[in-house]
Every structure is written in C-alpha cells, then in structure tokens.
Amino acid sequence: MELLNNNIIFNTIDNGIMVLDDGLNIKAWNKWLEVKTGIKASEIVDHNICEKFPYIEQKKLIRKIKSVLITKNPSFFSVEPHEYLIKIKSNIIMGKVFKYMRQDITLVPYDSERKLVCLYIYDHTKLHESSEKLKKLNEELKELSSKDHLTQLYNRRYFTEAAITMQSLSIRNNHHVSIIILDVDNFKNINDTYGHSVGDNVIVSLSRILENNCRKSDIVARFGGEEFVILLYNTSLSFAQSIAENIRENVEDYFLEVNKEKLSFTLSLGVAQFDAKLDKDIESTINRADKALYAAKESGKNKVVTDNS
C-alpha cells in the first residue's frame, strides 16, 4: 500500500479514504484523515480499525465488507446511531449544532483477490446542520400555530383537534372526559380601570394558576379574551367539579400588585361531562358547560355550576 499512500490524488481529494482488509486492518490512510483526526498514516496503518476506534460496530462492518467483496459492488454503510464512523470534531465555527462531524460512508471493492475494500468518508455536517435547523424551525412553527401568543397555552385550533382524539379514546376505552369552561368576572372593568396591559397580566397570571391546578395530560386552552377551556381525560364529572372549585379558590386568594394596590379578581366556571348519548361531539359538551358558566354568572359570579344532564 506504500504506492497508494504516496498517491497525489489519494492524498489531495477532499474526502477521507482508507483501505481495509477483511480482517479490519487499515492498509492505507489518506492525508484528509491525517488532518481531520490528527493521526498520521505511519501511526495507524496495519492496525485494526476497531481497536483504534472501539465504538465502531465490528460485526456490522465485517458483514458489510464481506458483502462488498462477494458482490463486487459499492455499498453504503449506515453509521447510526452516532452518525459518524470515526469521531472527528466538527469544524463549523458559527451556528454549530453537532459536536462531531456527520459522515456518510461508502464501501467499494478495491482488490478482491487480496480481499481489500476502499472506505470513503464524506463530511455532510453542513447538510445535517441545515436539516436539523429546518427541523427545529418546523417544530417551532408547529408550536406557534398551536399556542396562544400571550399565555403560551394551547389555542382553540389545537384544542379542537385534540378534543376529537380524546372523544374517540373515551368511547373506545370507556373513559370519562369532562370539560371546564371559565372566564374572568367583570374583566371589562379591569381593562377600563387599569388598562389593557394590566388586563394582560391578569390573563397570564390566570394561565399559570390553571396550569398548576391541572395534570400534564389535561389540555388547557385559551379560547380568546378572558375565556378558557380545560379538557380533562379520564375524569368524572364530580372530580372535574372539585378541580374547578380548587381553581376558583386559588384565583379568589390571588392578587396582583398594581401601583401599590392589590388587584383581586374572581372566576365563574361551568363543568360538563361528555356523554355519547347526549353529545354528538365534544363541542356539544362545551356548549353544555358554557350554559352552566352562564348560570354561574347569572346567579352571582365567583362560583362553579355543574351541568347534570
């Protein structure tokens, strides 16, 4: 392999190239690999690649080499889950996502009689970086499309989609699904007296109280203005009523400090349970909970009313 190690093309090509025998011994190691790994050819040639880099899947590499030698055709070598064959630090300075170079590996027959294959390492870090950034951006866009900007709770659109799934699960698994709908009492007076920025603070504060009083499996959504809806999966009407009462009490005990003045507010809440015999969908359950909310408003506010249909 001395001739190959001194070959100009072999040592100037902008990819990693090494030659391996069927026993995984390195027979040639080009300049690209020397520069990227800091290991000179004289230090690694005739050494076993898996002894030098023990994280390489030895059995997998042996199988792939044998396949290439038998078929005499090139083959792509998967480097999952690490996404690299040889650990090489990424040299991307700006916006680095990956610590180590993302690589694509191709094996080609080199000398079948001597049972040698040529292994190419391609640096695809930039491509993977772009893909990862695009994936992250898509995830952020998806989250933005499902979240309310002010409160970071789910919005009506996401709630509606999730409610359809919850409805199907409840019917299939014979589980209860309950709805709490609520809004802030006399919210217009808060905005008129203290301004919309204080009104926004009330909405955000209420959002955190709702999150703290609900499980991770519950879906808390802002429907708009001061109106919120909570979907509680595997929750009976009586348990949903107790959750609503806890929320009401927590809000009643809470206050915001505005210009050294304590600003308190209260909620009215309506509760209903999905019933396949009464409701064609969750929207029908929400309508029943909304009527219960209206009853709470009409009977004095700052209370929970349950629909017992």
Residues that are catalytic: 226
What the block records as the tokens of 239 is: 């348990």
CA atoms of 269 and 305, how far apart (whole Å): 6
